[in-house]
Structure 1
Amino acid sequence: MSSTRRTAVVAGVLFLVTEVAAIGGLALYRPVLHDAAYVIGPGADTRVFLGALCEFVLALAVTGTGAVLYPVLRKRNEGAAVGYVCGRLLEAAVIVMGIIGVLSVVTLRRQAEGAAGADGASLVTAGRALVAFHDWTFLFGPNFVLGANTLVLAALMYTARLVPRYIAVLGLVGGAMICASATAVLFGIYEQVSVAGSLAALPVFAWEVTLAVRLLRKGFDEGADEGAGTFADERVGEGARVG
């Protein structure tokens, strides 16, 4: 198996991990995100911890896709490849910030259990603030930044013909739609977790799953290895001209 084929397989696995971890984290977080009185109730801390673990795996997988794909992408456009890696790092960092916000709600709830005469109204307000913090990180990380990263990667895949163009076009559509949806949520047109928000997220979900399956089954198109040689030859030629 060539290094390019191994890269494709690892990237495909990581993209599938991001989807599973993202869905699992959102489902497991449901009690803390949708129960305003979570901080003064019995809680479902174990479930929330599992959700946090899922989201941490998501952050690692997001970072991994950028690192794994960089050697292939830089042979087509080094600047865009660096931008993609940085964008994935930013996306992962925002996800981790959201994890901390949710875990802080659990800490607040546990402290309230051991505090006699705790002000329930104040605790609920603090809990809501932390959940709101998570919701904003969810909007900017796995929506705005994800959309921008998708556009960069899909554009590189399209111009370099690393995958069939219909897959790259799906990524361009998905990236644009998730950014547009995030903008609509930002201005209060509809809620992020809603029918409209879910429909807008479907194309980018389809893009990542389709790309992952393609990379696992067939890898990059044959031009991927040829592009490496072409890029290297161009760099050598530039050096010779300078010399």
Structure 2
Amino acid sequence: MAANTDITAPVRVHIPRRRMLPTRRISLTVGILYVLTFVSIPTLALYAPIKNNVGAFILGAGSTSALQWGALSEVIVGLAGISTAIVLYPLTKRINQTAALGLVAARLLETCLIFVSVVSLLTIMTLRNDLAGTAGTNPAALATMGHSLLASYNWTFLLSGSLMPVACDVLLGYMLYRSALVPRIFPIVAFIGAPLLLASDIAVFFGAYSNVSPIAVLAALPVAVFELSLGIWLIVKGFKPTPLTADYNETSQSTAA
């Protein structure tokens, strides 16, 4: 006799899970990393006590917590910056390998300079913690050392946070414009912002104004808009479908299989 079958029992149907396309993983990761590079914006306020009177700070005035949080945020920015170029490289090398390698090199140099600038600030904190107030320490000499380290930070910041983005954005803008991976407005903004920022950097270098003056901030705005809006676009929309993305997805998926 045939076994009884419960026709009311639910039938389990296996639905294959849709995998994220390789280019979508790249765009999402790069977008998050670009947004992450803006975490250091609060350092303008966090470093204010040091920049306003580094001598008083190094001799014990105020807390070191703001400096430590600011330094940590800059380390994050440096790591996120080089990561954008590395994550993009498998795709950008198909557009122009020279430009792709140039972007990685420029981002690496930018990160190294950021780390050097952070070391200058952390050295100020070490001098304050280990030497300020100890017997035989010359307060005037400590203040002089603090001013020297702060000057080192300011000049290194000009190279890392202001000059290197010019090279990075020109290279990236060129590859984005050539490949049409994103709307053309993004690389156009990069092409406008990079020369403007370079001109401002030259003016700062020759002492026309400081790198935190309103003119310098306005000159850096188009580059900031380009990088932030690109990051948000890549998170939300990703790359536009092109023969490049189709070929990359097909090659990556066949290799994985």
Task: With the length of structure 1 as denominator, give the TM-score of the two structures.
Answer: 0.90
1:57: Cα distance to partner? 0.6
The residue aligned with 1:125 is: 144
Structure 2 counterpart of 1:225, from 245, 249, 256: 245
Structure 2 counterpart of 1:104, from 123, 147, 172: 123
Structure 1 counterpart of 2:107, from 88, 101, 112: 88
The residue aligned with 2:87 is: 68
Residue identity opposite 1:5 in structure 2 = R
The residue aligned with 1:184 is: 203
Aligned to 1:113, the other structure's residue is in SS state coil
The residue aligned with 2:160 is: 141
Q: Is the 8 A contact 1:18 1:58 kept in 2?
A: yes
Structure 1 stretches of 4+ moved >6 Å: none
Relative to structure 2, which stretch is displaced further, 123-132 or 112-121? Answer: 112-121
The residue aligned with 2:51 is: 33
Q: Encode CA deviations 1:79-133: one digit per residue, 9 max, x unaligned.
A: 1101101110100000000000000001111123341242221111100000000
Q: Is the 8 A contact 2:58 2:146 kept in 1?
A: yes
Aligned to 2:61, the other structure's residue is in SS state coil
1:164: Cα distance to partner? 0.7
Gaps of 5+ in 1: 232-243
Residue identity opposite 2:77 in structure 1 = L
The residue aligned with 1:235 is: none
Residue identity opposite 1:145 in structure 2 = M
What is the alpha-carbon root mean square deviation over aligned residues? 1.9
1:228: Cα distance to partner? 4.0
Bigger radius of gyration: 2
Q: Is the 8 A contact 1:31 1:44 kept in 2?
A: no
Aligned to 1:22, the other structure's residue is in SS state coil
Residue identity opposite 1:26 in structure 2 = L
In the alignment, the residues of structure 1 paired with residue 247 and residue 211 of structure 2 have an alpha-carbon distance, to the nearest angstrom, of 40
In the alignment, the residues of structure 2 paired with residue 219 and residue 31 of structure 1 have an alpha-carbon distance, to the nearest angstrom, of 41
The residue aligned with 2:17 is: none
1:40: Cα distance to partner? 1.2
Residue identity opposite 1:185 in structure 2 = V
Q: Is the 8 A contact 2:89 2:100 kept in 1?
A: yes
Q: Is the 8 A contact 1:76 1:227 kept in 2?
A: no
Q: Do structure 1's residue 171 and structure 2's residue 199 form an aligned pair?
A: no
In the alignment, the residues of structure 2 paired with residue 6 and residue 217 of structure 1 have an alpha-carbon distance, to the nearest angstrom, of 12
In the alignment, the residues of structure 2 paired with residue 184 and residue 70 of structure 1 have an alpha-carbon distance, to the nearest angstrom, of 33
Aligned to 2:42, the other structure's residue is in SS state helix
In the alignment of these two chains, the number of paired residues is 231
Residue identity opposite 2:117 in structure 1 = G
Q: Do structure 1's residue 54 and structure 2's residue 70 form an aligned pair?
A: no
Task: With the length of structure 2 as denominator, give the TM-score of the two structures.
Answer: 0.85
In the alignment, the residues of structure 2 paired with residue 25 and residue 222 of structure 1 have an alpha-carbon distance, to the nearest angstrom, of 38
Gaps of 5+ in 2: 1-19, 252-257
Q: Is the 8 A contact 1:66 1:88 kept in 2?
A: yes
Identity of aligned residues (%): 36
